Structure 1
């Protein structure tokens, strides 16, 4: 398997993954800034880094090559040369609110004074106002209060590498993200695909780029097989974005024939489909009971290609039957988070008990704090690899959120 991106399932043996080690960005903000940056708490960085390193080691111990976003981004910019680096800086500054003007020039000079790797880390970590030697007193960042401490906000959500882009078959979506706090993140992946020697000119298909108004995020994109995707209609992904990527996948002969859109509650606790539903074996899924209505029903739409670029939509509410039909299964096992207990399932779902990362069929990585859900998974025959989670979980994302698979073995 020589393609730099190749993901045709959620469960094929994981060969290559992209992570982002938490850096200064996860604590370079104040409690007042948490809503703006989509955080509920401020992780303790040294422990978060130790936990993340242990997560990466667990993957390596199971034969996975681990790549890091921050390193790939710097290598891509260096490979592209001075013009590419300059264009990236211009775009990043524009998306940070500085398309032109004195502050644009000061920030660009400051960032250009660094090595490429240091520049990438600084952009990710945020640029405080007190870092710059010269700041015009009569100018402040657009739409910001003068006493706001940052010119360029930190990006604390970056360690959730699943969301800015999503591997699908031999290509990926590079996503237009919902909230301003995360929107710049996908620019790094755009540069990596265009200019990094590992990916550039290697036939990687971009099924949908980031230059859209409609929103989609990788936590909502699940590759169920080499012909079927599931995409959540969620707080972070809109129905029209799902229809758009469906048209692109059908039109460009991606091999994908069905997209199952699944509507989940639109709230922070269940921000993405993978926080409430993941595939962990050929016929086994985790599911948070809180997304299922009376009788275990939930709205789904199976999208297939129609005539003249139109889409056919089949609305159904029996998720289990929809999955069985799409994946040609006689039966399947929906494993409830927290054993289905209303208190335990809500608590463990909040701590990403449903956010499992399959690294092979029936082998999953989970947070150790979700001990009830982990026990239930083992009772259903799964091999569970637990990782430490006291600080990483404060960001409201689990092992699947923290990983972007780049290559999996075919089933």
Structure 2
């Protein structure tokens, strides 16, 4: 599959996921904050809910699983040793790659994701408060953040927190070596001709949205820095072809439900978007910046909000309000549980949590039919028969991890959109 992401809403042709495993439960309440969780999850319940998402995706597109693909590339000894050296050097355990490499590919893939227990075989290890030599990747099932499609390339994330950096190494190794994909990768921390490496550059997929092939909306907040956005600008300048536009939305640093742009703004259709009104439209000090890159030249100015900035570029999106229009308390509650975080698998066809009932009512008022995931999986409902629809998945446990349907999916290929 040749990777191609030229929009947020084009018909989905391929998506990367990771089914949560023991890494999700390998934490204590005291460790949850360091692992970027607000609470610890019950894996058995989370898996039941996650299976609804996977079941729907398998009905509508080709699904790629990270753990399976990782095991497949680890069968190549050159790839295996290169990835292990990179991971071990980064994690401060150089020389451990030899011992890890003795495991078969499937076992090793599990260890790199679920963690390697620290052996108490010397005084330092015996007294260490850590349980793991290699910590589990608690956040890997939020596949959106570690890599993102940017037109025909895959942009490797530069994570704001060290606990997630191994995710990007795994994803870069997969995109560079797995035969399922034909793509080029861009990495903010690896030298590219003419583009300096900036140690302050961070960039996560939850903040990155491709609206059209030459228009991007990017959130600037606690996870994505201005230097990370500058890396994208420099890459576009380096191409030196045509006009591109980046709309940058500043995000609040608190509460933690605002960690990414897709927690307050997502595209639903060619003419519709989902917004968390207090951030996108509310009177605040958070700026919306418009950046035009025209054949290598950059022009920057300020805009009133995202939708007005997009309208100036010919994309007129009607906002649907997360939590409805009546009660700001309801808006706040539903945004906290990823009420604005929808994933489009076709124009006007989206997936989200069933718990956000006021948001779903607002979507229904705007012409979206609402169906449960079980109806899609069983074949009772065929989304091809509807122009606009919402497929709802259970989210009593998954939502407590801090993300929604968009967070848990990494599209690698979408069809073109008829704008």
Q: Same fold (TM over 0.5)?
A: yes
Q: CA deviation at 1:332?
A: 2.7
* Alignment partner of 2:91 out of 81, 89, 96: 96
Q: CA deviation at 1:312?
A: 1.7
Partner residue, 2:390: 384
How far does the alpha carbon of each residue in 1:134-165 deviate from its partner, in whole angstroms, 9 at most, with x for none?
Answer: x4423349xxx613222111111000000000
Q: Structure 1, unaligned stretches of length 5 or more? A: none
Q: CA deviation at 1:48?
A: 1.3
Partner residue, 1:127: 116
Distance, in Å, in 2 between the alignment partners of 1:205 and 1:246 is 18
Distance, in Å, in 2 between the alignment partners of 1:180 and 1:396 is 18
Structure 1 pair 294–364 and aligned structure 2 pair: CA distance change class (3 A): closer
How far does the alpha carbon of each residue in 1:142-190 deviate from its partner, in whole angstroms, 9 at most, with x for none?
Answer: xxx6132221111110000000000111112101100011111100111
Q: CA deviation at 1:254?
A: 7.7
Partner residue, 2:185: 206
Moved over 6 A (4+): none
Partner residue, 2:220: 233
Q: Structure 2, unaligned stretches of length 5 or more? A: 191-196, 369-388
How far does the alpha carbon of each residue in 1:235-264 deviate from its partner, in whole angstroms, 9 at most, with x for none?
Answer: 100112102112202323687711111111
Conserved 8 A contact 1:77-1:191: no
Aligned residues: 387
Conserved 8 A contact 2:243-2:294: no
How far does the alpha carbon of each residue in 1:329-367 deviate from its partner, in whole angstroms, 9 at most, with x for none?
Answer: 4x4311111003211111111110000001111111001
SS class of match (1:358): strand
For the pair 1:72 / 2:78, whether they are aligned, the reply is no
Partner residue, 2:164: 182
Conserved 8 A contact 2:281-2:305: no
For the pair 1:338 / 2:323, whether they are aligned, the reply is yes
Alignment of 1:20-169 (within 5 A): 20-61=18-59, 63-78=60-75, 81-100=76-95, 104=96, 108-109=98-99, 111-129=100-118, 132=119, 135-140=120-125, 146-169=128-151
Distance, in Å, in 2 between the alignment partners of 1:94 and 1:208 is 18
Conserved 8 A contact 2:14-2:414: yes
Q: CA deviation at 1:205?
A: 2.8
Distance, in Å, in 2 between the alignment partners of 1:339 and 1:370 is 10
Distance, in Å, in 2 between the alignment partners of 1:400 and 1:210 is 25
Q: CA deviation at 1:88?
A: 1.0
* Alignment partner of 2:289 out of 301, 313, 333: 301
Partner residue, 1:408: 414
* Alignment partner of 2:178 out of 179, 196, 199: 196
Structure 1 pair 291–273 and aligned structure 2 pair: CA distance change class (3 A): same
Structure 1 pair 391–176 and aligned structure 2 pair: CA distance change class (3 A): same
Q: Give the TM-score normalised by structure 2.
A: 0.87
RMSD of the alignment, in Å? 2.0
